[in-house]
Amino acid sequence: MQIDLRTVSIKPLRHTFDNIAHRIGADKPASRYQEGTLDMQQEVNFHYRPTWDPDHLIYDRARTAVKMADWYSFKDPRQFYYGAYTLARAKQQDTAEANFDFVENRGLAATLPAEIRDTVLKMLIPLRHVAWGSNMNNAGICAYGYGTAFTQPCIYQSMDQLGIAQYITRVALLLGDVDVLDTAKTAWMEDDAWQGLRRYVEDTMVIKDPFELFVAQNVALDGLLYPLVYETIIDDVLSSKGGTPVAMLTQFMTDWYAEVRKWTDATMKTAAAESPENKEILGRWTTAWRDRAAAALVPVARIALAERTDELTAEVVQQFNARMAKAGVPV
């Protein structure tokens, strides 16, 4: 008996789905990010308008003043679709858990100077309410925004902020007890230092335009809060005074924002480059919400920075302005 073995080359009839092929070409294989993003949002076959908002379709470009010829021109530099997102966060969570274990098992929280511990409890723990506000706001952007390329990263942002609120809670329980959380909530609700930031968060919750909400939350507030609180105050100022264990416990926030700003800057750059009208609108929104965010953060930063507050806050604002200028947004 004779057996002949042959190699047969099979040419695929198609490399990707039709909706992807009409964007990138039929002969090009699509990435998982493209398959999980492009044209994923439904645009036809809606049977009725929402009874709670009959002036708009369920997905409606008219909800925002920003106009795009193609809402899928936005690109996430991280190439996040659900699989890539969960893998990236799993690695970061492993690092965060290792840091918490290291600090807890070696009793490093007990070695913190009393002044640093008190500062962290007063300045950091109420920020879990800010993170929860961001969780709600980004869920809102995802619900009312248009185009998966714009809305998909916002739901990831929403889940990230919920995780950040949980990490802050764990820091509180590691440095104190359950009463620390109640004290922080009371400060958030009643202390003068927090009322500007609390009003900012509550005002953003009623913004109707999803792109303006994106600017107010992810660009302006987060663009000042994370560099100021986590990079400047915790990583630099408090660490130099014996607060390095706190920097370990908040490493996720620092690394996370370094990654997230690539996406927010790319989104702003794409929208601003679309038209002079978009650039003017984005510049106006960014300037207004930046000024409000900076003013709201000053009394919070003063808890840790005292007389250096104005100087270091101004540096963070300058860095923010440089980022926006690079993205083509006039501020």
Flag whether 250 is in a domain: yes
Flag whether 72 is in a domain: no
Q: What is the mean pLDDT of residues 140-165?
A: 97
Flag whether 54 is in a domain: no
Flag whether 76 is in a domain: no
Q: What is the CATH number of the domain that holds 95?
A: 1.10.620.20
**Three-state DSSP state, 328:** coil
Flag whether 39 is in a domain: no
Range of the domain at 258: 83-326
Tokens of 193: 């230092």
CB-CB contact of 180 with 189 (8 Å): no
Q: Which of 26-30, 61-65, 260-264, 267-271 has the lowest mean pLDDT?
A: 26-30
Q: What is the 3-state secondary structure (H, E, C) of 75-141?
A: CCCCCCCHHHHHHHHHHHHHHHHHHHHHHHHCCHHHHCCHHHHHHHHHHCCCHHHHHHHHHHHHHHH
Q: Tokens 């980004």 correspond to what residue?
A: 138
The whole-angstrom separation of Cα 281 and Cα 288 is 11
Flag whether 301 is in a domain: yes
pLDDT at 308 over 80: yes
Q: What is the 3-state secondary structure (H, E, C) of 224-275?
A: HHHHHHHHHHHHHHHHHHCCHHHHHHCHHHHHHHHHHHHHHHHHHHHHHHHC
Q: Which of 18-32, 117-131, 216-230, 244-258 has the lowest mean pLDDT?
A: 18-32
Can you give the pTM of this predicted structure?
A: 0.93
Flag whether 75 is in a domain: no
Flag whether 16 is in a domain: no
- Give the total number of structural domains in the chain: 1
Q: Which of 14-23, 144-153, 249-258, 277-286 has the lowest mean pLDDT?
A: 14-23
- Percent of the chain exceeding pLDDT 70 equals 100
The whole-angstrom separation of Cα 114 and Cα 207 is 41
In the chain, what is the greatest distance between 2 CA atoms, to the nearest angstrom? 93
pLDDT at 5 over 90: no
Which class for 51: exposed (0-12), middle (13-18), buried (19 or more C-beta within 10 A)?
exposed
Average pLDDT, the chain: 95
Name residue 116's amino acid. Answer: I
Q: For 14-48, what is each residue's pLDDT tens digit? A: 778 888 888 888 778 889 999 999 999 988 888 78
